[in-house]
């Protein structure tokens, strides 16, 4: 995992350099070629420099080990960085739309043909970055890297939108000069929608939304491989960065000693962590097998209270 995390940081650094070069190329050539769509896409690439920098910072901070003040580690900072990326994209999209509307009534100067070249270069570069970030983001389960991958995918889409608007204008500059501005506005709308989606997804993670049922089934299956683990009464998981922390209510034979129950719970924790690399830690609470959990326990020292074991 450390090697993958290092690769993720290197990809983020590469993305910063590529986005900075593309932003400068598109803004300079877009201004010289008098293309609103290309300049708009250049502003979007400029925002990528900031968003990739935040992703890099999130990956670095999230890699810090747990400490006394952060017993669950620093992984939530990685999710927060994804939220910031979404907010930056939303703001960038609004600014791009505003800039395009401002220039919508300027139809006196048609764009030049050489404005298409930075868009074609951007499509090629961002396609490669998108595939790399998506692959490593999935392997790392990194919300910020996946958000940045989605950002690159939208960069490709926005460049295509800009290229379409510019191409229509170049086809007949006298009749279709406004399509270059429309293409710029379309870039802004696409970026706004992506920002909203990323913010929604990261907020759900910060609210401790449960993972899908298939992932919970993997946790239960791993736990029940341990001899003496008779059932799972509750299974909960929350994401704290790139991994999950699991709370498990394990059912065991009620006639076992506290020590025997503790040993089973400890082995369950070890097996889950070893078999599921996306699990950071497991908190096991022992329950007596066969207890009707729908009924409140009596106050006479029920086994669920007297033998509750956390490891």
CATH of the domain at 248: 3.30.70.1350
Q: Is there a single domain that holds both residue 229 and residue 181?
A: no
In a domain, 311, yes or no: no
What's the residue count for the chain? 311
In a domain, 287, yes or no: yes
The pLDDT tens digits of the residues spanning 205-232 come to 777 778 888 899 999 999 999 999 999 9
- For residue 103, give Cα distances in angstroms to 24, 106, 205: 20, 5, 39
Q: Is there a single domain that holds both residue 261 and residue 161?
A: no
Q: Which residues of 6-15 are buried (b: 16+ CB within 10 A; e: fewer)?
A: eebbebbeeb
Domain that holds residue 61: 2-206
Q: Of the candidates 179, 206, 233, which is a domain's last residue? A: 206
Q: In the prediction, which pLDDT does 300 show?
A: 37
Q: Please tell me the total count of domains within the chain.
A: 2
Phi, psi of 276 (to 5 degrees): -125, 100
Q: How many CB atoms lie within 10 A of CB 278?
A: 17
Q: Is there a single domain that holds both residue 121 and residue 226?
A: no
The pLDDT tens digits of the residues spanning 145-187 come to 787 888 788 778 777 877 887 788 777 776 776 676 677 787 7
Supply the pTM of this predicted model.
0.64
In a domain, 255, yes or no: yes
Burial class (CB in 10 A: 0-12, 13-18, 19+), 263: middle
Q: Is there a single domain that holds both residue 7 and residue 36?
A: yes
Q: Is there a single domain that holds both residue 148 and residue 39?
A: yes
In a domain, 70, yes or no: yes
Q: Of the candidates 178, 206, 234, which is a domain's last residue? A: 206
- One-character DSSP codes across 173-229: HHHHTHHHHHHHHHHHHHHHHHHHHHHHHHHHHHTTPPPPHHHHHHHHHHHTTSTT-
Q: Is there a single domain that holds both residue 223 and residue 153?
A: no
Q: Is there a single domain that holds both residue 246 and residue 294?
A: yes
CATH of the domain at 78: 1.20.1510.10
In a domain, 302, yes or no: yes
Q: Is there a single domain that holds both residue 197 and residue 226?
A: no
Q: Is there a single domain that holds both residue 20 and residue 124?
A: yes
Q: Is there a single domain that holds both residue 52 and residue 90?
A: yes
Q: In the prediction, which pLDDT does 293 show?
A: 56
Q: Is there a single domain that holds both residue 224 and residue 88?
A: no
The pLDDT tens digits of the residues spanning 57-105 come to 877 887 787 778 877 777 778 788 888 888 888 888 888 788 777 766 5
Would you say 110 and 173 are in contact if contact means Cβ atoms under 8 Å apart? Answer: yes
Q: Is there a single domain that holds both residue 174 and residue 90?
A: yes
Q: Of the candidates 149, 184, 206, which is a domain's last residue? A: 206
pLDDT-based confidence at 296, cuts 50/70/90? Answer: low
For the cut 50, the answer to whether the pLDDT of residue 257 exceeds it is: yes
């Amino acid at each position: 995992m450390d090697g993958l995390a290092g690769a993720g940081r290197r990809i983020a650094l590469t993305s910063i350099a590529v986005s900075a070069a593309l932003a400068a190329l598109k803004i300079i050539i877009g201004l010289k070629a008098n293309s609103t769509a290309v300049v708009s896409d250049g502003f979007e690439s400029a925002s990528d420099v900031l968003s990739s920098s935040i992703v890099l910072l999130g990956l670095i901070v999230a890699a810090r080990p747990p400490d006394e003040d952060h017993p669950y580690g620093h992984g939530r900072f990685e999710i927060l960085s994804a939220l910031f990326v979404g907010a930056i994209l939303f703001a960038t999209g609004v600014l791009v739309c505003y800039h395009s509307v401002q220039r919508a009534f300027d139809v006196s100067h048609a764009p030049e043909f050489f404005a298409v070249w930075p868009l074609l270069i951007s499509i090629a570069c961002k396609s490669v970055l998108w595939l790399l970030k998506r692959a490593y983001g999935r392997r790392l389960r990194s919300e910020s890297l996946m958000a940045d991958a989605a950002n690159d995918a939208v960069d490709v889409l926005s460049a295509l939108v800009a290229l379409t608007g510019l191409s229509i204008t170049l086809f007949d500059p006298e009749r279709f000069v406004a399509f270059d501005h429309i293409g710029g506005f379309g870039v802004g709308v696409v970026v706004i929608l992506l920002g909203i989606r990323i913010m929604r997804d990261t907020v759900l993670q910060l609210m401790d939304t449960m993972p899908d049922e298939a992932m919970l089934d993997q946790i239960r299956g791993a736990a029940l491989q341990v001899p003496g683990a008779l059932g799972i009464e509750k299974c909960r998981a929350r994401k704290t960065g790139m991994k999950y922390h699991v709370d498990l209510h394990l059912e065991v034979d009620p006639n076992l000693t506290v020590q025997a129950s503790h040993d089973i719970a400890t082995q369950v924790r070890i097996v889950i962590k070893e078999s599921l690399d996306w699990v950071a830690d497991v908190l096991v609470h022992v329950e007596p097998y066969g207890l009707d959990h729908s009924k409140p326990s009596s106050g006479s020292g029920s086994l669920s209270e007297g033998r509750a074991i956390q490891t």
